[in-house]
Amino acid sequence: MRTIKFLLYKEFKQIFRNKSIVALILFMPVMQLLILPWAADYEVKNINVVVVDQDHSNYTQELISKISASNYFNLVANGESYDAAYQFIESDEADLVLVIPPDFKKDLIRDKSQKLFLAVNAINGTKANLGAAYMQEVIREYNGKLTTEMQKVNSKVKPSRAEVTFTNWYNPDMSYKVFMVPGILAILVTMVGGFLTSLNIVKEKEVGTIEQINVTPIKKHHFILGKMIPFWILGNVVFTLGLLVAWLIYGIVPAGSLLLLYGFIAVYLLAVLGFGLLVSTYSETQQQAMFVMYFFMMVFILMGGLFTPIESMPKWAQQLTLVNPLSYLIEVLRMIVLKGSTFSDVRPYFLMVAVFAVVLNAWAMLNYKKTS
């Protein structure tokens, strides 16, 4: 511990000596959180739907067939009741629940109007918004078909209509910023941790101080810990600033446990910092490390599920996201901040990120050589 204490003193002194880096660490996340949540555009596919058919008429079967035939929807189950179907939303297996009331056909023919209920999982606001719009479009087409068929029988018949009323879970106002801010915060934490650590060891190589460190009796794991801990602390500072901005500017208060949130961030930062140190051990110059990290960061961000839902990606791309740590952080932040998920809900993500942390840090430690 005494050795690590001296290493930490050295690292913090180097960090705070460069005023521009400190300002960048503190200023950049705040500015990006103020600017970035205001713009994006998506096309969403593979929207999972659970249908609760309480009528079981030929009309409802035809409507369900139209939903199944759409390129945008996957019919994952036929629910027995709304409560049973809602469990699919709770477990993130469904994005929409469509409830068809009893006597749908009879009321539609008699009253020329009937209401359907659509429950929307709005934890991903874009997917929910477009999913609800797509579903209403399918129902509008179905209304048009019904009207045409009835007017063929009786040209004076009043057109029948099936209307949809719906609710948005976890994001009632469908605010785009509510689900974008956690994702952008995840990207900022990843970028700050990854880029700064990737430049750390290689900077020692460029200025020549690595040779002085290598001739000391410092163990490799002491050296790696001394390089990691300062940026682990700074990563938590950046995350805290992001939560404060989300609360003060956007009114987003975590629905779940802050302790659970910081617990996951603590493990996640170990994984990201380990990856940055690994890149640094392989690089000879800061420019080389920057280009390597830029390549991986672009892949992590674009395939992290923030700008394009993972379910809408091709199968091969969905498999690649399994080794993308950022995708786990984006999902967990949304689950805890918006949905109020508990540890049992995010346990699989914890385990995956912990595996990343162990593998990447062990790899960085083994790859760091004290001899040249």
pLDDT band at 268 (very low <50, low <70, confident <90, very high): very high
Q: With b meaning 16 or more CB within 10 Å and e meaning fewer, what string describes 125-161?
A: bbbbbbbbebbeebbeebbeebbeebeeeeeeeeebb
Residue (of 182, 171, 66, 178) closest to 120 by Cα position: 171
Q: pLDDT tens digit string along 123-134?
A: 766 677 778 888
Of 25 and 233, more confident = 233
Q: Measured between alpha carbons, how far is 80 from 347 in angstroms, rounded to an integer?
A: 29
Please give the structure tokens belonging to residue 353. 């990120």
The answer to whether 358 and 268 have CB atoms below 8 angstroms apart is no
| Residue extents of the structural domains in the chain | 2-39+175-367, 47-169
pLDDT band at 41 (very low <50, low <70, confident <90, very high): very low
358 has a pLDDT exceeding 80: yes
Helix (H/G/I), strand (E/B), else coil: 54 = coil
Q: Measured between alpha carbons, how far is 295 from 288 in angstroms, rounded to an integer?
A: 11
Residue (of 13, 85, 100) closest to 49 by Cα position: 85
The answer to whether 190 and 326 have CB atoms below 8 angstroms apart is yes
157 has a pLDDT exceeding 60: no
Q: What does pLDDT average to over the chain?
A: 83
Supply the pLDDT for residue 328.
94
The answer to whether 265 and 189 have CB atoms below 8 angstroms apart is yes
Residue (of 262, 129, 93, 277) closest to 185 by Cα position: 262
Query: Which run of H or of E encompasses 78?
Result: strand 73-78
User: From edge to edge, which strands make up the β-sheet containing 96-100?
Assistant: 73-78, 47-53, 96-100, 113-121, 161-169
Q: pLDDT tens digit string along 216-251?
A: 777 877 778 888 888 898 889 999 999 999 899 888
% of the chain at pLDDT higher than 90: 23
The CATH label, of 3.40.50.300, 3.30.230.10, 3.40.1710.10, 2.60.40.2310, for the domain at 47-169 is 3.40.1710.10
pLDDT band at 50 (very low <50, low <70, confident <90, very high): very high
Determine how β-strand 96-100 pairs with β-strand 73-78. unpaired
- Regarding pTM above 0.85, the answer is no
Supply the pLDDT for residue 90.
85
Beta-carbon contacts of 193 under 8 Å, excluding residues fewer than 6 positions away, are: 231, 232, 234, 235, 269, 272, 273, 276
